[in-house]
Amino acid sequence: MNKKIVTRLLGYLRPYIGRFVIAMVLMIILSLMTGALAYLAGPLIKFVINPAETTLHIAGPFLFLAKIPKKELFYYLPVTLIVVALLKGLSFYGQAYFMGNIGQRVIMDMRNRLFEHIQYLPMDYFSRVNTGTLVSRIMNDVGLVQGAVTSAVAGSLRDSFSIIVLIGLALYLDWKLAVLTFLVYPIAGYAVVLVGRKLRKVSVQGQNAAASLNNKLFESISSMNIVKAFNREEHEISRFKRFTSNLYSALMRGIKVNALFVPSMEFLMVIGFVGAFWYGGMRIMNGTLTPEGFFSFFAAIGLLYQPVKNLSNINSVIQDGLAASTRVFDVMDEPSETLRQGAKTLGEIKHQISFNNIGFRYAEQEVLKNVTIRVKKGEILAIVGDSGAGKSTFVSLLTRFYDATSGSIRIDDTDIKDITLKSLRDAIGMVTQETILFDDTVYNNILYGKKDATLDEVVGAAKSAYAHNFIVNLPDGYNTNLGERGAKLSGGERQTIAIARAVLKNPSILILDEATSNLDARSENEVQKALDNLMKGKTTFLIAHRLYTAERADRIAVLVKGQLVEEGPHDVLMKNAGYYNKLYTLQHTLFAKETSAHDEKNP
């Protein structure tokens, strides 16, 4: 599993392989300069302690220093150190810049690809996964992957090169001393593997807790009006504290593992260092090891400590990144909306839209059963029934937010599954009971209906929706920002903006999900006039909770527990004295009582 995840992550590096190679070359230079500093440490210390020595026992690229007289060596040795340090600093800056650039681009690509994939997931997925979890995937989880890509990949390569160079230097200086020093490393490596498994487990627990907290936070803030209306602030605070406590506990488990791991690694390395120090001291006294060789060796060992420590710390970052990558790729592996091979573009509707023995099942619940109805081009069909009767599901099948589990929906003679989703949804406009506006300007919210529309077309749509007059009186007119979900507007104003958006789109099929049910009488009257303009000449599906709005429809379809029990014009259904008659009479009676009670309280 890990190999598969790592392979997928490395696939994101492929477009930037050129920069990656440059970064690796700079890392190698950095490692060599680190080794050079360690190598020069011994001769430098010897020169300071015993300046009477006219030459130094030195080899490799610094052989020239051994032939320089003492007076000139006083200048050459510091200059050599400065040049090495400068090259080390420049190479560090270069590799950090290139790896940082690669890491940020990889994360940008991954975040963009994840968001793009989410856009094309079926509505069924969004009914199973809450918004907070998806936000956590895009922001938190991809952010953890960033740490793995930048810190882990860059750090592990850089530190690995440094370790190779320094170990090679230690072996070159004295292989017996090096072997004694490195005896503890296999034990440390085994500890890294064990801790890695534990860290991966606690990392998954922490990320799950973070996603739950994210979802709770999103839910609570977006529902603040309900929280305050029911005086449930203390309840929400208590629930939030419970989620933060769960996250705290999960994170502390990871901290405990790391807190135990780091000092254990240091203890093992100190044991190796002390053993080598003792053995080296004995070798100097025996005359089998030179002082400058001893100093250079332990300079290399001292410089080796930090990259080894870094690699042990990187382990936790890698485990966090792998766990987060698994969660991100789980979303990416979700199948997108299905499209049949050879699907064709929807043309003009010539005759009708037909629902043929439609059935739909969600989980174990049967929502629609053998619904058959035909809607002629330009006809207005009202869909009525009790809550849970399947009205919204019925129209959602037409948009292919969900696919029917049995039967077929045809536009003229073509099954909608054989029509491209883009052309199908281009032909459909929706105005729902819950008005969805974006935190953007009025102009851009209306323009959402047709991205290439002109200013005149946007203004024309607003006028047709009876929205223009109040828009021009806003602080910045069409450039006024509406706030989150259009919070700066009244309910009626929000709805007319949504209608203007649909007018601008000018669809041939219209779905209205009781667009006036949440409005007062005055606002409802304005919105209804806008809807009348919108419905002209369009095949319209009108979900009616208030049955008097269904009277204007050409036909009415009555759904009861997912089954079509009646259909026909209002007058015919009332004469039939069936289910529609009962619903209408009951609703009319209740409305009359409410009106009478209101009149008595407000004479």
Q: What is the pLDDT of residues 8-38, one digit of tens each?
A: 887 888 888 888 889 889 988 988 888 887 7
- Report the pLDDT value the prediction gives residue 556, as an integer from 0 to 100: 92
What is the distance between the alpha carbons of residues 114 and 101, in angstroms, rounded to a whole number? 20
CA 423 to chain centre: 28
Residue 418 has pLDDT above 70, yes or no: yes
Better-scored residue on pLDDT, 89 or 195:
89
For the beta carbon of residue 354, count every other beta carbon within 10 angstroms: 17
Q: Distance between CA atoms of 314 and 195, rounded to whole angstroms?
A: 12
Tokens of 432: 């729902």
Q: How far apart are CA 80 and CA 9, in angstroms?
A: 41
As a whole number of Å, the end-to-end CA separation of the chain is 74
Cβ-based neighbours of 410, under 8 Å, separated by 6 or more: 353, 354, 356, 416
pLDDT of the residue at 557? 92
Residue type, 121: L
How far is 36 from 55, CA to CA, in rounded Å?
A: 19
Residues facing residue 415 across a β-bridge: 410
Q: Is residue 22 helix, strand or coil?
A: helix
Q: What are 447-466's pLDDT values in tens digits?
A: 888 888 889 988 888 888 88
Instruction: For residue 599, name the pLDDT band (cuts at 50, 70, 90).
Output: very low
Q: Buried (b) or exposed (e) across 580-597, using 16+ Cβ within 10 A?
A: beebbeeeeeeeeeeeee
Greatest mean pLDDT among 256-265, 365-374, 548-557 lies in: 365-374
Q: Distance between CA atoms of 230 and 122, rounded to whole angstroms?
A: 34
Tokens read off for 559: 């759904």
Q: How far is the C-alpha of 288 from the C-alpha of 423, rounded, in Å?
A: 85
- DSSP-assigned letter for residue 83: H
Domain boundaries, the chain: 2-332, 570-603
- Name residue 361's beta-bridge partners: 366
Q: Is the pLDDT of residue 428 over 60?
A: yes
- Contact of 580 with 384, CB cutoff 8 Å: yes
Q: What integer pLDDT is reported at residue 359 of this predicted model?
A: 92
Helices (H), 290-414: 291-332, 391-398
Q: What is the pLDDT of residues 96-152, one digit of tens each?
A: 888 888 888 888 888 888 888 888 888 888 878 877 778 888 888 888 887 777 777
**What pLDDT, on the 0 to 100 scale, is given for residue 135?**
82
Quote the CA–CA distance of 442 and 493 in Å, as a whole number: 11
Order of strands, edge to edge, in the sheet holding 365-376?
365-376, 352-362, 406-411, 414-415
> 486 by DSSP, 3-state: which?
helix
* 117: three-class secondary structure by DSSP: helix
- Residue 425 to residue 337: CA distance in whole angstroms: 13
The predicted model gives 419-431 an average pLDDT of 86
Q: Distance between CA atoms of 502 and 491, rounded to whole angstroms?
A: 17
358: alpha, beta or left, given left = phi > 0 and alpha = psi -120 to 50? beta
**Across 190-194, 220-224, 492-496, 574-578, which has the greatest mean pLDDT?**
574-578
pLDDT of 598 reads: 46
Which three-class secondary structure state does DSSP give residue 363? coil
Question: How far apart are the C-alpha atoms of 582 and 594, rounded to whole Å?
Answer: 18
Report pLDDT for 369. 92
> How far apart (Å, rounded) are the C-alpha atoms in residues 442 and 497?
8
d(CA 402, CA 367) in angstroms, rounded, equals: 12
Asked if the model's pLDDT at residue 406 lies above 50, the reply is yes
Distances from the Cα of 125 to the Cα of 6, 97, 117, 324, 394, angstroms: 26, 39, 12, 20, 18
Backbone angles phi, psi at 380, to 5 degrees: -105, 115
Q: CB burial class (10 A; 0-12, 13-18, 19+) of residue 96?
A: middle
State whether CATH 3.40.50.300 applies to domain 2-332.
no
Task: Quote the strand ranges of 494-594, DSSP E.
Answer: 509-513, 539-543, 555-560, 563-568
The full DSSP string for 256-288 is: HHHHHHHHHHHHHHHHHHHHHHHHHHHHHHHTS
DSSP state of 129: S
Q: Is the dihedral of CA 147, 153, 156, 159 positive or negative?
A: negative
DSSP readout, 519-588?
S-HHHHHHHHHHHHHHHTTSEEEEE-SSGGGGGGSSEEEEEETTEEEEEE-HHHHHHHTSHHHHHHHHHH
Which of 46-60, 375-389, 495-509 has the least mean pLDDT?
46-60
Q: What is the pLDDT of residue 54?
A: 43
